[in-house]
Structure 1
């Protein structure tokens, strides 16, 4: 266990040196503040553009605070997805390519601890950054519109965070499978995009698909609770995460032994 903690400490320190603990939270904060501010000031923005016939009036219905938070989740689905892929695609493949992994594993270091430390380290960064950014979304939504109950905020945060964890884990899996970070990122992004499109198109058949997690995060806010299908999706996603992590460890160990 001490070996795992040492590797995890190395990951966290490395992310500090690469300023990931600075720029990732900042990006998530920008994403968090963007949705409530843009919706609140939309009438003024449209009016400042001009070009409308004299006397014309544009009436934009004021969304509910839950709908504003749902819009914020949409921002994280789009841009958070990209950030997660970029963070995870070189976790293993990048160190294999640079030779850093070989230097670490030449010591009596377990391959499973190596992968687990990578996984836990990047999740600490993702979850901390997402919480800060989403908390900003919740705060500004409360100031400009109305306050969403904090337990609803936490529930949707957990579900959306699980979706980002799924993206990170499947990208880490491909990073252990391929030696080229670009290939790992492309494969991870492709699987996630296909899963999201299929799940949204066949939602009535794939209620338990991990691709439904963003939908359940939104419905948790709008309907103030989680459906039974959403609970089963969380359980199934947790099982898939464990399988992917185990496979990443086995694949990486076998590749190293073969080399």
Structure 2
């Protein structure tokens, strides 16, 4: 436990010194502000760019439009930011050879995996839930009369899917010694999930549902029971890459 805490502290200090911690928080704070503002002012923006003589009827924005922007930003921008910032979590160690001295001095290799996973999840949690709180506050301010269903389920689903990607990214980072390999590894994983979604019998198990059906959850057309199998398989998608990462690192030359 002492080795785990020491290595975890070292990881946190490293993310602080290279400013990745602050970059992550700032970018997600911006995404949290942009979601309700985009929903609020989008009709005005579209109207200003329309040619003279052409009018388009645009419905008055609601709180659902704000949350639609939140999930759009979360999946299209937020998760991409996380994957890019964490893609070098092992490549820097390989490049500098810092793990060699630590391992020869008795640091268990599984501790390296657990610490890196812990820190990545903590940073993802801080940035994601900060983004959520900002969006929630601004949405309540701009759309005070809005109502929705299953908000907790919708935001938790996307959060959980983010942890799946972190676990898969860590496995890719252990396998490949550069920062590009993990990105391609995660890209291949996402492509695989899209292909699985083409088969109706397998779609209900697809973890990708957690990041693609959030608006359905808010509208009450999708409940937890509809996603239970996706959550179950996502749990496997977190644990299995972690175990494989430990096994691969045990056999890998540092």
Give structure 2 stretches of 5+ with no counterpart: none
Q: Summarize the Cα distance change of 1:252–1:100 in structure 2 as closer, same or farther, 3 Å threshold.
A: same
1:191 is matched with: 189
1:232 is matched with: 229
Which secondary structure does the structure 2 equivalent of 1:57 belong to?
A: coil
> How well do the aligned residues superpose, as a CA RMSD in angstroms?
2.2
- Please report the TM-score for the alignment, with normalisation by the length of structure 1: 0.89
- Please report the TM-score for the alignment, with normalisation by the length of structure 2: 0.90
Q: Distance in 2 between matches of 1:7 and 1:97?
A: 18
1:42 is matched with: 42
Q: Distance in 2 between matches of 1:148 and 1:164?
A: 27
Question: What are the residue-to-residue correspondences of 1:74-89 with 2, within 5 Å?
Answer: 74-89=72-87
Q: Summarize the Cα distance change of 1:39–1:66 in structure 2 as closer, same or farther, 3 Å threshold.
A: closer
Which secondary structure does the structure 2 equivalent of 1:41 belong to?
A: helix
Does structure 1 conserve the Cα–Cα contact (< 8 Å) formed by 2:38 and 2:66? no
Q: Summarize the Cα distance change of 1:44–1:17 in structure 2 as closer, same or farther, 3 Å threshold.
A: same
Does structure 2 conserve the Cα–Cα contact (< 8 Å) formed by 1:138 and 1:148? no
2:118 is matched with: 120
2:92 is matched with: 94
Once the two structures are TM-superposed, the CA of residue 232 in structure 1 deviates from its matched residue by 2.1
Q: Summarize the Cα distance change of 1:119–1:43 in structure 2 as closer, same or farther, 3 Å threshold.
A: same
Q: Summarize the Cα distance change of 1:204–1:65 in structure 2 as closer, same or farther, 3 Å threshold.
A: farther
2:155 is matched with: 157
Segment of structure 1 superposing worse, 106-115 or 147-156: 147-156
Give structure 1 stretches of 5+ with no counterpart: none
Q: Distance in 1 between matches of 2:166 and 2:200?
A: 23
Once the two structures are TM-superposed, the CA of residue 105 in structure 1 deviates from its matched residue by 1.8
Q: Distance in 2 between matches of 1:184 and 1:83?
A: 14
Once the two structures are TM-superposed, the CA of residue 42 in structure 1 deviates from its matched residue by 1.7
Are 1:222 and 2:219 an aligned pair?
yes
Q: Distance in 1 between matches of 2:174 and 2:142?
A: 45
Residues 94-123 of structure 1, C-alpha deviations (whole Å, 9 max, x = no match): 211221222322220000111100000011
1:138 is matched with: 136
Once the two structures are TM-superposed, the CA of residue 80 in structure 1 deviates from its matched residue by 1.6
Once the two structures are TM-superposed, the CA of residue 217 in structure 1 deviates from its matched residue by 3.1
Q: Distance in 2 between matches of 1:81 and 1:66?
A: 21
Count residues with an aligned counterpart. 254
1:31 is matched with: 31
Q: Summarize the Cα distance change of 1:208–1:33 in structure 2 as closer, same or farther, 3 Å threshold.
A: same
Once the two structures are TM-superposed, the CA of residue 193 in structure 1 deviates from its matched residue by 3.6
Residues 25-68 of structure 1, C-alpha deviations (whole Å, 9 max, x = no match): 11111112212212211222233335321xx4332113442342
Q: Distance in 1 between matches of 2:82 and 2:187?
A: 10
Q: Distance in 1 between matches of 2:205 and 2:42?
A: 36
Segment of structure 1 superposing worse, 108-117 or 213-222: 213-222
2:179 is matched with: 181
Does structure 1 conserve the Cα–Cα contact (< 8 Å) formed by 2:210 and 2:227? yes
Segment of structure 1 superposing worse, 209-218 or 235-244: 209-218
Segment of structure 1 superposing worse, 223-232 or 160-169: 223-232
1:59 is matched with: 57
1:72 is matched with: 70
Does structure 2 conserve the Cα–Cα contact (< 8 Å) formed by 1:31 and 1:133? yes
